[in-house]
Amino acid sequence: MEHQLGTSNLRFERAGSIAWCVIDRANARNAMTPAMYYGVKRAVQIVNADPDLRALIITGVGDVFASGGDLGGRPEPGDEVPPLVDEELLPFLAIRDSRAPVIAAVNGICQAGGLLIAMMTDIAVTSDRATFRVPELLRGIPDATCAALLPAHVGLGVARDLMLSARRFDAAEAVTMGVVTRMVPHEDLRQAATEAAHQVLATAPAARTHVKRMLNETYGRIDYQTQYWAQYESPEPREGMQAFMEKRPPNWVPEGS
């Protein structure tokens, strides 16, 4: 069932009552195409609709969890992208609001949209080898989702630090700040993520749904209007992506920086 999620770059695997969504685009460092983003959302929908499945674990391959959206915009053969507006393709709120528990097993590099996937899960377990980053402003993209959601995890001051500096940080700091919640040795990641799923499944599902709703009310408003205006009208995202592809600083970086 290679294309069950609409793309060959995602694998949907069953292990008893737990499903795994494996991000597997190693040749592009697990950069996410629109079909891949929607495929993760589809995985959440499948688990919530299937009475034989009780939880979903999302992970990556190799040393990358997910590196964010593919800035090159490269389509993949066989990708299925439904005719939806941009935000309807994205999986973040579907993960956050899922009735079935969703766990992240962060196996490596986790940034941009990959970081949002991890943050929106019920429990994010990270390998001690993983690294994290919020790099959108380096590309001229005002990320509305991260700006709304990250402060609820780490506080306003730390969110400013991470978003405005776009610096890298390691797994230990990610746990200390509250970006993710558990760190384990790399070789223990799969077992630890499975254990986290079973821990959540031990709680009463109806009560858990209400608690999740109340917790989710702490998030701010997502201003997609500003984000998509910038991506389509501002010269900054185009310059940022072009600079990335050409491996040079974008034109807003002061000379000598």
In a domain, 234, yes or no: no
In a domain, 4, yes or no: no
In a domain, 256, yes or no: no
Question: Residue 254 to residues 243, 249, 251: CA-CA distances in angstroms?
Answer: 14, 9, 8
Range of the domain at 84: 10-188+204-216
In a domain, 242, yes or no: no
> Tell me: the pLDDT tens digits for 63-113?
999 999 887 666 677 788 777 767 788 999 999 999 999 999 999 999 999
What token pair was written down for 144? 């509305």
Nearest to 2 by CA among 15, 17, 13, 16: 13
- pLDDT grade, residue 18 (50/70/90)? very high
In a domain, 175, yes or no: yes
State the CB neighbour count (10 A cutoff) for residue 49. Answer: 9
pLDDT score for 94 = 96
Q: From CA 194, how far away is CA 85, in angstroms rounded? A: 34
Sheet containing 109-111: order of strands: 64-66, 109-111, 131-133, 169-170
Q: From CA 152, how far away is CA 45, in angstroms rounded? A: 25
Q: Residue 27: CB partners within 8 Å, gap ≥ 6?
A: none
CATH (domain of 126): 3.90.226.10
Q: Does 121 score more than 90 pLDDT?
A: yes
Q: What are phi and psi of 99, to 5 degrees?
A: -70, -45
> Tell me: the pLDDT tens digits for 129-163?
999 999 999 999 999 999 999 999 999 999 999 99
Q: Give the total number of structural domains in the chain.
A: 1
> How many residues in total does the chain contain?
257
In a domain, 80, yes or no: yes
Q: Residues 60, 107: contact at Cβ < 8 Å?
A: yes
Is the full-model pTM beyond 0.85?
yes
Q: Does 116 score more than 60 pLDDT?
A: yes
pLDDT score for 1 = 41
pLDDT score for 198 = 98
In a domain, 209, yes or no: yes
Question: Which amino acid is it at 31?
Answer: A
> Tell me: the pLDDT tens digits for 201-245?
999 999 999 999 999 999 999 998 898 888 889 999 999 989 988
State the CB neighbour count (10 A cutoff) for residue 101. Answer: 24
Question: Residue 154 to residues 86, 176, 181, 239: CA-CA distances in angstroms?
Answer: 27, 9, 11, 30
pLDDT score for 71 = 73
Q: Does 12 score more than 70 pLDDT?
A: yes
Mean pLDDT along residues 165-173: 98
In a domain, 69, yes or no: yes
Strands 18-23 and 55-60: parallel
Question: Residue 38 to residues 72, 138, 154, 216: CA-CA distances in angstroms?
Answer: 18, 25, 27, 22
pLDDT score for 2 = 45
Q: From CA 211, how far away is CA 236, in angstroms rounded? A: 40
